[in-house]
Amino acid sequence: MKKKSSINSILYLSLLCTVLLIAIRIIYTGNWRFASLVWNMFLAFLPFIFSTTLLKKINRSKWIQYFLLACWLIFLPNAPYIITDFVHLDHTPPVPFWYDLVIIFWAAWNGLILGFISLLNIEKFLLARFSRTQVNVMVYISLVLCAFGVYAGRYLRWNSWDVVANPHEIYRDVKYIALNPEDNMRTWGVTFLFSVLMIICYYTIKQLKQAMREL
């Protein structure tokens, strides 16, 4: 419990430092560039909240559990999505290029860590109900769906709220992509690479976690 509290403290400190860097940039330049990263980090924080809440309600109503699990999956793509904000990186004097590079990298790092911690929580929840093999399959599927969500957010301009607000448009886009794969090579390329990236990163973190236990 003490170790978990320490990890949370470091996580909150990391988020605070990133927000401070963005605030300093805004004050120095009078320009709100990168302020959107604060919102993106908030969205990345939501899967973490849903997953930790889910663990606390592990013995409560199944409907609450299903609701939290669905919310987690819907908002999970917001965590790695911040990586794509590197498209906004360019030299905008008087701010040094390296300063903006650190801001985006730090925000993306926060997003990834929040996403992976939330996935660790979800994996723990699922292991109480399913076999290890079944849970591994669910984790892979979640990461692939998450990768597609990153593509949809950056290129199709979906957001998590559209699942409820515009389900018909989402269905239309998914149907078109599925029925016309040759016209959507970018979709498959981005989804594939992000899937591989997140799967390798996630299992690297799990191996590091296991190695720390054995020290």
Distance (Å, whole) CA 69 – CA 72? 5
Number of domains in the chain: 1
Distance (Å, whole) CA 100 – CA 209? 31
Per-residue pLDDT at 58:
62
CA geometry: angle at 203 spanning 197 and 205, to 5°? 100
Domain that holds residue 91: 2-214
Per-residue pLDDT at 120:
95
Mean pLDDT per 10-residue segment, the chain (215 residues): 71 96 95 93 96 80 90 96 94 92 97 96 94 96 96 92 87 91 93 96 90 74
Global pTM reads 0.90
Per-residue pLDDT at 113:
95
